[in-house]
Each structure stands twice: as structure tokens, then as C-alpha cells.
Structure 1
Amino acid sequence: MTRKTASSDWVQHAAQPGRIERIEAYFGGHGYSPHRHDTYAIGLTLAGVQSFQYRRAQRHSLPGTVMVLHPDELHDGEAGTAAGFHYRMAYIEPSLIQQILGGRPLPFIEGGLSADSRIQAALTPLLQNIATRIDLMEEDDALHDLAHALLGAAGERPIRRRPDFVALERARAHIHDSLDSAITIDALAESSGLDRWQLSRDFRALYGTSPYRYLTMRRLDVVRRLMLAGQSINQSALMAGFFDQSHMARHFISTYGAPPARWLKRMRISP
């Protein structure tokens, strides 16, 4: 099958800084190698067929279909036809959803695709043209509606004991305060007041990933900001708390589906 060359691929980030990372992109063929991130990836296919492997099955998102990829779930992305695919995506941190749900397990949408009208309506402000600024109160409203739409579509799972949301927020704050230094699970347990096993188990339930993975992702956030600001890849890795560039690059590829240099090149290409 003949497909457009990679030179026609592009990714645009919303210029407005905020709590939610928003992108719009086009890929003529291969988009991303298998990777996973610790946010919800919630998007809308605008044109073409967006095909991806997700939870051991091939999925196909058609125009108008909403994708709801759960945190830390492995997935890739490619064009399902020769026409390529065009989409918008919002990356939403589970902590933002937890501020609304207050300690319930994260909603999980089976199969990663949804036609639920509640989710579609809640996403409208977040997936509008990325050149459009979103008012902070509008963003709050959209997040509130989205959290409850996800919960309604997924159904609330029965749990024996609700995690201690306040304690876990203390552990999460400790991670953010200590990105440039060594952090141990024992230090996180002490800051939260939980034992290390309860901390690890409940952290996954509320934030969709392990404490170590969450720490790594926050350091990768720093790497991306530094690289976009003009720092070298090696200096960005060291300043973000990684041992060296290769240590960072392994995590970067598994998270974003591309090496740092290729990711940076994509960020600098406009349609």
C-alpha cells in the first residue's frame, strides 16, 4: 500500500501553557512505536483511519470516534489507509481527575474507543482548535464534566477499601518537590504516613502508574521543556535528574514512541 512520506507528517502543540497538554497532528503512515505514558490520552480522529495496538488487539478510530487510552497502557499508532490520519489529542494527568473524583479508582474505558455522548460533549472545549485559548474556568468545567462522564461510561468498580487520597497526595507532592535528588520508596512512605506496599498499591489505583514511573515521567517533562528551550539533549537529561543521556533516552522512547532527537524535530515542524 502506497503511503505519504514521513516528510508530510507534523505535530503541533497548543501555544497556551496550561494543565492539559493538547496536540494536533497528521501522519501519513507510521506514527508512533509502542509506548506508554502516565496520563489519559483522550483524542478525536478528524480525518482518515487511526489504527493502533491496544490491550492485545488492533483498534481503528474513524472520524468522530473518541479514543480514551488509560494511563500506562501500551499502544502505538499508524495510518489505517493510504490517506493518513489527522487527529487531536489531550493528555490529562490522573491527578486532575482525582481532584474531582476524590479517591475513586480511575475510570477505565474498555477497548480504548468510545461513542458515549457524555464523553464527547465534555471533550468539546478541550479538543477545539489548538490555536484557541481555553479559559481556566472553562477548563475546570470541562474537566469536571469529563471526570464524571468517564465514571458514568466505565461504571464504578467495587473496592474493599478506598485509598487514602490525602496521604497519597502528600507522596505525590514529595515527588514534585524532589525531582532533582534521589527519592526512595521509603521516603515516600514516610511522607505519606502509609507503609510502602500500601503506598505502591494505592498510588497505582488513583494515578494509574507506580510511584517510580510517575517520578520518571515528571523528569521527562523537565527534559522536554529544557530541550524545547534550546538545551542539548545530554544537558537536559542531567539537569532533570537522570544518570546520563542513554538512561533518559531509554525512558523517553518507551514513553513517547520516538528518540529525543526525532521527537524534537517533530515539535519544530509545522503543517
Structure 2
Amino acid sequence: MRVAMPSRGVERIEARFHGNGFSPHRHDTYALGLTLHGVQTFRYRGSERFSNPGNVIVLHPDEVHDGAAGTDDGLIYRMIYLPPELIGAVEGHHTALPFVGNPVVADAGLWQALADILDDLDHEPDALALDDSVMRIAAGLSRQAGMPRKVVTATARTAVMSARDFLEDHSAETVRSNDLETITGLDRYELARQFRRLLGTSPHRYLVMRRLEQAKRLMSIGAGLAETAADAGFSDQAHFTRHFRKAFGMTPGRWNDLRTRSR
């Protein structure tokens, strides 16, 4: 597994494997990918899916999936994990996120937008190039989603962004629903509803994922698992490992080993 340097919360990887690569897990980002070699198979929304070279993989935030090579030839693919707020920002967060029902699509425009940003994993993408790719990717997702999306009010938009900023700034601390109600002016249930509509996940999951992002950064500079768990805001190493596996389909030790060996 090759892991590119993250940029503006965007993560890019290349994975090569035989057999089962990832156990069931879910991200709070869009996971968008290109199958480059072999047959990519995964279970998603209750069905087995297959992707051949030339197809685009589109996984919506918070949707459980796994990953495996469909043949003995093995599998090579590249993925980008895009924060939903980048997709939402293209239209000013005025509508709910686009949902693409079919996770395997043939879309030349979307393929090219992804290929442009996934071509070079050795260098951080230029800011203008990233902005252009995000715009084209958002257009492709909207095109594939097809159905009109629900309009989000300015009040709800402001509340969600305030909650998001608070969660990012306090990710290593205990955050309670009362805190978010005070900050946003929305009750916890309405906030949860609007948060998912704009960012594709719940406030709690968003908080956990920010802790996991910090954990990845700490591991990448050599921190041990126990130290990482404590500094990122998890109660202990077992708590950290459980959430990491749910989010990424492998243990933090396995992820760190794959990342290190790919250098």
C-alpha cells in the first residue's frame, strides 16, 4: 500500500493485493477509485459488487464495505478519500450531498478527473489542480446521482459548519451533545439530521474520524500505539484499535506496517 502525503484533508493511496484486503469498514469521506488491474470485488449496501479496469468506484460516506481481489491475478487500484465538505463547497453547501446508488460506474469525465489527481502519489497536488479536480469530481457525482437534492437552509448550514469546526478544534477532548446545542442553537436531533445531510455522517463519527486522522499522523512520525491512543483522545489502546479497524478495515499495527514497507 502506497500512501501519499495528505493535502487539505485529502488522502490518496494505491493498493496491491491478492485475496481479501480489507475487512468491513466505513469512512466519513467519499471513497473514489480507479480499478487499474484485475477484478475489484466488494460488498456494499447488501450486494456483491465487481469492478474491472476502466470503471470508477464511488462509495458514499458512512457506507460499510470491504475489499478483495476477484481473481488469482491480484488487484491494483488507486483511491482518493475526499472530505464531503469539499464536495459540498462546490455549490456553497446549499444542497445535500450527491448520493450515487450504483458504486461501480462508467463515466469518462469522472474517470479523467480522478486520474488527474491520482496520477502522481509522490508529490502533494498543486492547490489549483486540486480545486479543479474537486470541481470536476463534484460535477461527476451530481451527474451520476441524477435525482434532485434537498435544499439546506442558511441557518442549518451555519450550524453544521460551527459544529464541525468545534469538533475539529476539540477532537482529543470529551464533547457532549449539550456543547453542540449551545454552539449551534439547534437541538441535538435536528443537528444530527442536518450534519448528515451536509457532511454525510454523524457528529460522533466525525469526531472519531478526526481522532483517527491524528492517530495516523502520530504513527507516521514513529509514535507507539499506546502513546498514539492517549494523545489522539482514545480511552486506551484497545478502544483506539477497535475504532481504527471499523474505519479502515485493518488494525493500526497492520496499517503502519504496510505504510512503512511501501516506502
TM-score, normalised to structure 1, is 0.91
Alpha-carbon distance between aligned partners in 2 of 1:159 and 1:21, rounded to the nearest angstrom = 28
Offset, 1:102: 2.3
Which deviations, in whole Å up to 9, do the C-alpha atoms of 1:179-235 show, x marking residues without a partner?
Answer: 121101121122122221110001011111100000000001111111111111011
> Which residue of structure 2 lines up, in the alignment, with residue 7 of structure 1?
none
> Which residue of structure 1 lines up, in the alignment, with residue 178 of structure 2?
186
Deviates more, 1:95-104 or 1:151-160: 151-160
The structure-2 alpha-carbon separation of the partners of 1:225 and 1:161, relative to structure 1 and needing over 3 Å to count, comes to: closer
Instruction: Give the gaps of 5 or more residues in structure 2.
Output: none
Deviates more, 1:95-104 or 1:258-267: 95-104
- On the 8 A contact 1:105/1:157 being kept in 2, the answer is no
> Which residue of structure 1 lines up, in the alignment, with residue 72 of structure 2?
82
> Which residue of structure 1 lines up, in the alignment, with residue 215 of structure 2?
223
Alpha-carbon distance between aligned partners in 2 of 1:203 and 1:72, rounded to the nearest angstrom = 13
> Which residue of structure 2 lines up, in the alignment, with residue 58 of structure 1?
48
130, 134, 138: which is aligned to 1:143?
134
The structure-2 alpha-carbon separation of the partners of 1:158 and 1:86, relative to structure 1 and needing over 3 Å to count, comes to: closer
- On the 8 A contact 1:54/1:111 being kept in 2, the answer is no
Structural mapping, 1:164-183, within 5 Å:
164-183=156-175
> Which residue of structure 2 lines up, in the alignment, with residue 106 of structure 1?
97
Structural mapping, 1:107-256, within 5 Å:
107-159=98-150, 162=153, 164-256=156-248
Alpha-carbon distance between aligned partners in 1 of 2:200 and 2:221, rounded to the nearest angstrom = 29
Alpha-carbon distance between aligned partners in 1 of 2:6 and 2:192, rounded to the nearest angstrom = 34
Q: Kindly, what percent of the aligned residue pairs are identical?
A: 43
TM-score, normalised to structure 2, is 0.94
Offset, 1:18: 4.2
> Which residue of structure 2 lines up, in the alignment, with residue 261 of structure 1?
253
- RMSD in angstroms over aligned alpha carbons? 1.6
> Which residue of structure 2 lines up, in the alignment, with residue 8 of structure 1?
none
Structure 1 SS opposite 2:102: helix
Offset, 1:87: 0.5
Aligned AA (2:84): P
> Which residue of structure 1 lines up, in the alignment, with residue 38 of structure 2?
48
The structure-2 alpha-carbon separation of the partners of 1:15 and 1:258, relative to structure 1 and needing over 3 Å to count, comes to: same
Instruction: Give the gaps of 5 or more residues in structure 1.
Output: 1-10
Offset, 1:254: 0.6
Which deviations, in whole Å up to 9, do the C-alpha atoms of 1:26-66 show, x marking residues without a partner?
Answer: 01111000111101110001000111001111111101110
Number of residues paired by the alignment? 261
